[in-house]
Amino acid sequence: MYLTGEEEKMYQGEYGETIKKSMEILVALGDIYQAERLVNITSAQVSGVSYKTIGDAGLEYLEDLARDTQARTRVASTLNPAGVDLEKWEELGFSPEFTTQQHRIVEAYGKMDVMTTCTCTPYLIGNVPLKGSHIAWSESSAVAYANSILGAMSNREGGPGALAAAICGKTACYGYHLPENRKSDLVVELECEIQGTDYGALGYLVGQTVKEGKPYFKLKNRPLNDNLKGLGAALASSGAVALYHIEGITPEYKDALPEEADDTLFVDRNNLEEVKEKLSTTSLKPDLVCLGCPHASLEEIRKVAEILKGKKLKNDLWLCTSINMKTAADRMGYTKIIEQSGGRLVFDTCMVVAPIEELDYEVIGVDSAKAANYVPSMCGLEVVFDEIENLLDLD
C-alpha cells in the first residue's frame, strides 16, 4: 500500500509507539482488503465499550494505550454505549464491581480524547459527517445511517480499527470509500405501506436475504427519520448491510440502481407479519419494556411521554437514549412524565450491552428488530417484539 512521507514516519514510529501500532492496524487492514492507499477521515465512532463485551482484556488494552500521551484522537470521535447508565447504575440494579470496571474503560477512552458520549446515534448529537466525507465508524447501525442517509463513506470498522483510525486521522481506502462500490445489487419493492415495527421487520427480512449486499428500496410511503434509524439497525444485524438506498429519499439513490435490475425481492404484508412473529420468542407479557434501539431521538421520547401521560405502568420501562437527549427531555418535561408513570429514561447504555441478565427480568419487550434479534443470544432472556402501545401494560 502506498504511504505518503508523513504516513511513513507515523508507521516507522517517529511519533511514538501508539501511533506506530495504530498505523500497523490500518496498514494490515489495507493489505487484507487490497487498499491502494490511506484516506483522511473527518470523524470516528468507536465501539468496544461495554465491560460485558470487552472484559478485562479489553480494559487493560485501553488503559495501556491511554498511558501514552501520543494516543490522542486527531478527528472528532464519539463513543458507543457502555454497559451501564454511568450515573443511575445503582438505582437500576447494576453491581459496583461491574460499574467500577466500566468507568475505567470510559475514562481510558476519555484520556484519548474520544468523547464519552456513549451513544449509538452519534448523528443525533453532533457527529454528523457531510455527504462524500470519509469516516471510520464502528457501530453497525450508525454506519448504515451514515452511509445511507447522510451519504458519508464508512466501512463497518471493528472497535480497534476505528480507534486506530481516530488516532491517526486516517483509514484504509477500500470498500465503501470507493464510489464504484456503493451501487445497489438488489431491488426490494414494497407491495404495501409500512409504519412502526414494519420497518424493523423489513430490515430484518432483507438483511437476512442480502447479507453484505446493498439493497435498493422502492417504498410505497415516505418514512420518518426515526423509521430509517430502525430499518438500518435491523439490516445491519440480521445481515451485514452497511449501505442501502431508498428511491426518492436517500442522497445517492439516483446513481445506485443496478443496471441489470432483473433481481427484485417483492415484500408484502404477510412477509412482514411472518418476520414479526418469528422475532418474538414467547407470548408471555414482558416484565421489562426496553425502547430506544438505536438510542431514542427527542421525538421518540416525546411520543412515549404522550402515551404515558397521566397513566401508571404495571411493567418496568427503560427508554434508552444518549445523555444529550436525556438533558433535552428533562427541559421539555418528558422525563418527568415518564418517571411519574413509573418508567425511566436510561442513558449511556442499552438493553443489549448492559448485563441485563443479572437483573430479575425474564421477558423483555422491544419495538426494535435489532434488539429482538440480540436480546435472546446476548442476554439469554425471552423477547417480545411488538408496537410500543402493545408492550406497555398501562393502568
Q: By CB under 6 A, name the binding residues for ligand F3S.
A: 81, 120, 141, 233, 293-295, 320, 350, 352-353, 370-371, 374
The number of helix segments (H) and strand segments (E) in the chain equals 15, 14
Looking at the Cβ atoms of 24 and 226, the one nearer to ligand F3S is 226
Pairing of β 316-321 and β 264-267: unpaired
Looking at the Cβ atoms of 170 and 370, the one nearer to ligand F3S is 370
Looking at the Cβ atoms of 30 and 292, the one nearer to ligand F3S is 292
Half-sphere exposure of 161 (CA within 13 A, CB side): 19
Looking at the Cβ atoms of 43 and 45, the one nearer to ligand F3S is 45
Considering only CA atoms, which of 194, 219, 162, 155 is closest in space to residue 43?
A: 162
Least separation in angstroms between CB 63 and ligand F3S: 23
Least separation in angstroms between CB 247 and ligand F3S: 25
Least separation in angstroms between CB 338 and ligand F3S: 17
Looking at the Cβ atoms of 84 and 353, the one nearer to ligand F3S is 353
Looking at the Cβ atoms of 156 and 170, the one nearer to ligand F3S is 156
Amino acid of residue 156: R
Least separation in angstroms between CB 7 and ligand F3S: 32
The region that residue 23 occupies, defined by phi over 0 for left and psi between -120 and 50 for alpha, beta otherwise, is: alpha
Whole-angstrom distance, CA of residue 112 vs CA of residue 110? 5
Looking at the Cβ atoms of 184 and 322, the one nearer to ligand F3S is 322
Least separation in angstroms between CB 14 and ligand F3S: 37
CA dihedral 224, 230, 233, 238 (to 10 degrees): -120
Whole-angstrom distance, CA of residue 314 vs CA of residue 312? 7
Looking at the Cβ atoms of 122 and 169, the one nearer to ligand F3S is 122
Three-state SS for 137?
strand
Give the three cell numbers for residue 67.
498511558
Looking at the Cβ atoms of 216 and 374, the one nearer to ligand F3S is 374
Question: Helix H segments across 14-77?
Answer: 17-32, 51-67
Contact 240, 208 (CB under 8 A): no
Query: What stretches of 74-200 adopt beta strand conformation (E)?
Result: 76-79, 135-137, 170-172, 186-190
Pairing of β 43-46 and β 264-267: unpaired
List all residues 6 or more positions away from 6 whose beta carbon is below 8 Å from its beta carbon: none
Helix/strand/coil percent split, the chain, to 5: 45, 15, 40
Annotate 318-348 with DSSP letters as a single string: EEEE-HHHHHHHHHHTHHHHHHHTT-EEEES
Looking at the Cβ atoms of 30 and 200, the one nearer to ligand F3S is 200
Least separation in angstroms between CB 91 and ligand F3S: 20
Considering only CA atoms, which of 336, 323, 338 is closest in space to residue 388?
A: 338
